[in-house]
A and B are shown apart, each in its own frame.
Chain A
């Protein structure tokens, strides 16, 4: 089956720094990638949808200047949390959808802890 990887799997950073998370589709081309956030013991909430080569579409309440998303190629999307604060600590999960089918494949997630 299709494989989606995320890097890093976990990261600890100081408040005020920026953190970049990568999401890669390893064996298929992803025309659309999604970024979700999951706080402890809560559900997954969609943050944004990104299509290759175009600007991401952010969900209501998600600051686009804080969560920068780049989908520069058909196999890579990045999420940069700028000037991270402790309240940004969360589990970030990406998913990727190929242009051929309608399956959405999830990455293993990245656990971000901001001190």
Chain B
């Protein structure tokens, strides 16, 4: 069965520091998608990225970057020069059978990130 583990329950850093959120996943499928979502205090999930299992290229979007390593089943998320507005709970998620099928999302436990001024 699929599983997503975010070992860091809470992280607290000072503004402008870089911070990396870890995500390790388990799946028996060779075809799957990985996601990161941000959940601010309002509760609404904000989509950050989707990466399919065939694309191991790292991605950078502004201050955000993602490192996907199939060899270690990890999909880590780094925020560079963190800002107070980055404070939120971040979830990593896995979806199997992306083409057809139920495409259920399995979420990690979440990492609560606090950026202090």
Contact = CB atoms under 8 A, between A and B. Distances in A.
B107 A57 contact: no
A49 B102 contact: yes
Nearest to B102: A49
A4 B98 CA distance: 20
B91 A97 contact: no
B108 A46 contact: no
A41 B89 CA distance: 9
Interface size bucket, B side?
20 to 34
A95 B11 CA distance: 28
Contacts of B99: 102
Interface size bucket, A side?
20 to 34
A47 to B, nearest CB: 11
22 contacts: A32-B103, A34-B104, A41-B112, A43-B91, A43-B108, A44-B91, A44-B105, A44-B107, A45-B107, A46-B104, A46-B105, A49-B104, A57-B102, A91-B43, A93-B43, A103-B50, A104-B95, A104-B105, A106-B45, A106-B47, A108-B42, A108-B44
